Amino acid sequence: MNLLLLLAPLLLLGFAAGVIRAWAGAPTLPPRRRLLQVGWVALLLVGAPAWLVLAAVLGLW
């Protein structure tokens, strides 16, 4: 159960990053494309460690 609580938010972060990455590749968004490309990388680089720290603080890990 604890493993599921630990990994579910990481899977959601990965899914959200994938959606943003796919959206950034759409040819109809040239002005915001760079912002979306930075956004999905930042979501993974900041979101995953932030969740792991939060999970440790909450005692899930």
* Closest to 34 in 3D by CA, of 18, 47, 49, 23: 23
Domain housing 53: 2-58
Tell me the pTM: 0.81
What is the number of structural domains in the chain? 1
| CA-to-CA separations, 21 to 7, 35, 54, in angstroms, rounded | 21, 11, 25
Inform me whether the pLDDT recorded for 1 exceeds 90: no
Q: Which two tokens stand for residue 17?
A: 């990053």
- Three-class SS state of 32: coil
Say if residue 35's pLDDT is above 80.
yes
Quick one: tokens of 61?
Answer: 């890990």
Among the listed ranges 14-18, 29-33, 43-47, 55-59, which one has the minimum average pLDDT value? 29-33
Average pLDDT over residues 27-43: 86
